[in-house]
Structure 1
């Protein structure tokens, strides 16, 4: 099918992150002549400074916690001291070694992706690209901007990503005031890390550094961490944070951050100040769309600078598509990749299924993880969805007891009457893996009864999914 499809068209892809990478591979698969322009490294920020290194850091932090908590499972670590007396060793974090490994993994992933593109026949041009029109990209291939290459194509895919948002009163300096792209230059664990911003990025890094052993203060402008996410999940995570020793400051903003030379001082909107050794600014991101000729080519942008796209990733210019965090769609690496493939399928005349927000699975890599898909409980409360909500604490699960998992739950949302699964939230270790069967249920419009009839291994954490859906059969019958 796709393998036998042959296209005589030319495709130019601007940006080699998840969206651009998948767009280029898909176009090559369909027989197009493909050129990919990337200014840094294949994989983009997702591979080099964001998803790959950050999730690797979190995996290291989880390992540290597992060692510290092993005694609760009856596993005790001791060393022999003088006279043969047992000594309890401490868990030490060599952050320089950790960061070296993370960056090496990122480089390896980037190299692997470049090799895949080359093998597929994609031509890669290194440099800064900008649109000279809806069918041409001009690439500056030298640092001084004196050498240029013109790339013409029938279809353009813009996948230039986004960069950390900066505040004028808290400019990152790469020393004490940092963005999430600068954390990996640290050679020792920060004595006291102040994290400004309690969204996904802020929560993930705050939890990771807490679990690595740093003192952490999290500054949140909202009533809860992870604003906009499931409120029950946010409560669980905030309880875990506080229990781990994190200081969570809610309903206040950081007005300014100053590097004092040997630390930082964060001034809050309520007049208080917080002193620490380092500050991570996690206050969102801005699209990398300025100065690359989009407006001149007729591509419509939002007020925030994001590229407006429809459900097949098409822009206001018929032959120009866009994918990833530079668009006004969902800012997830998995979504960027799907947008890239969808854009090319649509442009080259292959079968395409428009993207649907309600079928997108998302995960927050805190500890425990928070995975979600479909409608939320708040959608039901606000009347955007007619549904029944059931929440089952994970502590009731036999496998969870064996693993000493005490925090988390499985929440399923089913349509009233039919029982069709329309939403789900899982808070658990590896929730990113556990959510998949419920994502399939939403994609295939399965009912809670159909899900409940699937055999789950006993004991297993997935058993909580069948337990929850079985319980909803009673709710539906009685309701």
Structure 2
């Protein structure tokens, strides 16, 4: 007979979205249960996505530095490192992260149930445990935070040892000489820079006209240039027709007639929400074609007591936004004020990295908003000269008359950190949101942050305000 447990709030999924909801509800004194189908908490973010890929990027960045700096070059040949060796070093962070976040649940008395969840009704969830036994959990409110997984077309054999997606690439046991990456979204571009940083020849296949078209055009151009400078072959406006994989390699046949050969294929073209095993029909919910659930601005589904957050609801599919969405859902359950997350900055961990917030030049032009641009090139900052990471630019878009900051776009080292300084000023009310802030504020020297002052002076010179 299935064991029964009752909770005020039951969260399905222990990734960033689930953790945000669980911690907020638990700290408010609610009895909280969490269901996770992996051996440890953290979700895909920790085990297959953000943490391992960004850790891998960090190790590769050190390898690149080893190759570039004369002092490091004299100490050994980093080019001999294999992909499995680099991956093993990057993977060390995962168990430490899992232990850290498991402790959060323990300290806040949120009960974790390891197993596969499926709905029985709107207040009841059945959990299939690893040993095959079942638990039945009931709750007043349920938060679905099951995340997503790579989209896999049915005509591609992902069981072949030379065909990977963004999850299974983290288990690759060999070092390909040539890697084909199909899909030039955020994940595809990140892995293209990571593998090319290891000296692997990369063919990046993009089905669109430009890379990452949601970014500012100047940043897109910079990314394209530096990927090619790293040896990545970028092919735009291409769609696959078929994939042929043998023990000797992979051939990607494109609709244009091209045949691209490589030692391995990384398929990185979209993601699917993890909803197919939830038995949504039992509660009258239906996911869309990509397995995603529709929610309102309270993160509430069409079933009043059931909420959904994170990748399973689609855009923006960022760990940072997912955590805030989880907290917002918990606030709504508690009857408190909440915010609908629309202002999350973009962080793209290519080499160099990219971050942005606010409007792009194209959007401002289309909206006929008079704006100006202030730029600071990293090569002109003392900190970049010291660190040797001189590639990059910070650009500030601001209203030509009111000086209100409208968008900030950064390409280069530590871009995802630098962006938050501008984000803080953008979120101020009235005249406090002004590019003039950066001119009237003293920054530590030497720092990357002082690029804001340089960019502000450049922009204000354009409108003859100083």
TM-score w.r.t. length of structure 2: 0.92
Question: Is residue 19–residue 336 contact of structure 1 (8 Å, CA) maintained in 2?
Answer: yes
**Partner in structure 1 of residue 451 of structure 2:** 464
**Partner in structure 1 of residue 350 of structure 2:** 366
Determine if the alignment matches structure 1 residue 430 to structure 2 residue 414: yes
Secondary structure of 2:322 counterpart: helix
Q: Report 1:42-441 matches (<5 A).
A: 42-71=41-70, 75=71, 77-78=73-74, 89=77, 91-142=79-130, 144=132, 147-173=133-159, 175-299=161-285, 301-352=287-338, 354-357=339-342, 359-383=343-367, 387-441=371-425
2:37 to 28, 34, 39: 39
Q: 1:90 to 1:61 in 2, by over 3 A?
A: closer
Q: How far apart are the structure 2 equivalents of 1:94 and 1:272?
A: 30
Distance apart, 1:270 and its partner CA: 0.7
Q: How far apart are the structure 2 equivalents of 1:103 and 1:90?
A: 19
Secondary structure of 1:290 counterpart: coil
Q: 1:451 to 1:133 in 2, by over 3 A?
A: farther
**Partner in structure 2 of residue 13 of structure 1:** 11
Q: How far apart are the structure 2 equivalents of 1:337 and 1:219?
A: 32
Secondary structure of 2:422 counterpart: helix
Q: How far apart are the structure 2 equivalents of 1:124 and 1:30?
A: 18
Task: After superposing the two structures, state which structure 1 stretch, 116-125 or 380-389, moved more.
Answer: 380-389
- Map Cα deviations across residues 24-54 of structure 1 (whole Å, 9 max, x no partner): 1111111000000111131011000111110
Secondary structure of 2:80 counterpart: coil
Q: How far apart are the structure 2 equivalents of 1:276 and 1:93?
A: 20
Q: 1:301 to 1:215 in 2, by over 3 A?
A: same
**Partner in structure 2 of residue 85 of structure 1:** none
Determine if the alignment matches structure 1 residue 25 to structure 2 residue 13: no
Secondary structure of 1:229 counterpart: coil
Number of residue-to-residue matches in the alignment: 457
Question: Is residue 59–residue 90 contact of structure 2 (8 Å, CA) maintained in 1?
Answer: no
Runs of 4+ in 1 over 6 A off after TM superposition: none
Q: How far apart are the structure 1 equivalents of 2:122 and 2:463?
A: 53
Question: Is residue 353–residue 413 contact of structure 2 (8 Å, CA) maintained in 1?
Answer: yes
Q: 1:471 to 1:312 in 2, by over 3 A?
A: farther
Distance apart, 1:61 and its partner CA: 0.9
**Partner in structure 1 of residue 3 of structure 2:** none
- Map Cα deviations across residues 405-456 of structure 1 (whole Å, 9 max, x no partner): 3432111122342212121110011111111101111222421112332211
Q: How far apart are the structure 1 equivalents of 2:450 and 2:246?
A: 52
Secondary structure of 2:91 counterpart: helix
Q: How far apart are the structure 1 equivalents of 2:313 and 2:405?
A: 29
Specify every segment of 5 or more residues in structure 1 that has no aligned partner in the other structure, as ranges: 1-7, 80-87
Secondary structure of 2:416 counterpart: helix
Question: Is residue 198–residue 227 contact of structure 1 (8 Å, CA) maintained in 2?
Answer: no
Distance apart, 1:404 and its partner CA: 3.6
Specify every segment of 5 or more residues in structure 2 that has no aligned partner in the other structure, as ranges: 1-5
Q: How far apart are the structure 2 equivalents of 1:328 and 1:194?
A: 26
Question: Is residue 412–residue 425 contact of structure 1 (8 Å, CA) maintained in 2?
Answer: yes
Q: How far apart are the structure 2 equivalents of 1:261 and 1:465?
A: 52
Q: 1:90 to 1:431 in 2, by over 3 A?
A: closer
Task: After superposing the two structures, state which structure 1 stretch, 267-276 or 99-108, moved more.
Answer: 99-108
Distance apart, 1:291 and its partner CA: 3.8
Q: What is the CA RMSD across the aligned residues, in angstroms?
A: 2.2
